[in-house]
């Protein structure tokens, strides 16, 4: 059994999932999703911007896993105008009647611009929950202040090296599930000597150590991989715990000063 986090809607989201950012559309994405579902993952995360929703949908249909057992996330591409219309197109590509979570991928044009359309998608039953991605604590509060439906989740880059603790705390205080992407730093963190030492001491891989750290910080995490063996390896992060000394050593790797921001000013590609 996977640990689950409760959304404000009452639904539960698995703490560990598979992300398919930069995974090519076609057999590679289909193979990754198939391997994840066979391994036991029940959270699959895609986006309109990734261009692989159709492959995700095919893999889900072919898996034999009932749709209601899978938590499926996609994201609205903010350069487009209408979140409701784009949700309808996503559902056609995914070949499903609904997604479990629909996120604004980033706050282009301001944090509240897309939100009425997101609310319309949930009201129409196309998305069972809606949320945001790459939103700072301030931007999250701005959405919540004017919303009829408050965000259920906020997805942002998160790892021991980018321990956005103030943002996590703001999410939790607002009843928003924090979810981290790129927990491995797109592979850059795997060779860090502190991570490697803890992996050696615990008999785990560096990837498992980094994923486990996020889980123990109460953050849902979606490591990306297209390699079945690594997808299976990452899932084993559910099967152990890091001790206090290991968590403290990993905490000390932070370079973000526990920022409440989801992105540094120079990293906001939508600005």
Q: Which residues are catalytic?
A: 50
The two structure tokens encoding residue 70: 């899978």
Task: Determine whether 238 is exposed, middle or buried from the number of CB atoms within 10 Å of its CB (0-12, 13-18, 19+).
Answer: middle
Task: Determine whether 189 is exposed, middle or buried from the number of CB atoms within 10 Å of its CB (0-12, 13-18, 19+).
Answer: buried
Contact 57, 84 (CB under 8 A): no
Residue spans of alpha helices (H) in 40-175: 53-63, 83-94, 115-123, 137-146, 165-173
> CA dist 250 to 13, 33, 43, 49, 235, Å?
25, 30, 26, 32, 20
Q: Residue 70 gets which letter from DSSP?
A: -
Instruction: Tell the residue number behind the tokens 């540094």, with chain if given.
Output: 264
């Amino acid at each position: 059994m996977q640990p689950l986090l409760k959304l404000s809607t009452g639904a539960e989201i698995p703490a560990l999932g598979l992300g398919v950012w930069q995974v090519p559309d076609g057999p590679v994405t289909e193979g990754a999703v198939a391997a994840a579902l066979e391994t036991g993952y029940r959270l699959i995360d895609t986006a309109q911007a990734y261009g692989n929703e159709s492959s995700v949908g095919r893999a889900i249909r072919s898996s034999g896993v009932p749709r209601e057992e899978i938590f499926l996330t996609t994201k609205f591409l903010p350069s487009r105008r209408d979140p409701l219309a784009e949700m309808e197109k996503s559902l056609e590509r995914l070949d499903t009647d609904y997604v479990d979570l629909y996120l604004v991928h980033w706050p282009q044009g301001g944090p509240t611009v897309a939100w009425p359309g997101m609310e319309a998608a949930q009201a129409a039953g196309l998305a069972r929950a809606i949320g945001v991605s790459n939103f700072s604590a301030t931007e999250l509060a701005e959405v919540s202040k004017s919303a009829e439906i408050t965000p259920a989740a906020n997805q942002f880059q998160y790892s021991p090296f980018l321990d956005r603790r103030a943002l996590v705390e703001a999410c939790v205080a607002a009843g928003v599930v924090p979810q981290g992407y790129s927990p491995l730093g797109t592979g850059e963190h795997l060779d860090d000597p502190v991570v490697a030492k803890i992996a050696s001491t615990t008999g785990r891989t560096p990837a498992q150590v980094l994923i486990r750290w996020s889980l123990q910080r109460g953050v849902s995490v979606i490591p990306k991989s297209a390699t079945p063996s690594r997808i299976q390896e990452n899932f084993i992060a559910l099967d152990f715990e890091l001790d206090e000394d290991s968590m403290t050593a990993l905490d000390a790797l932070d370079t973000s000063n526990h920022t409440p921001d989801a992105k540094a000013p120079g990293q906001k590609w939508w600005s």
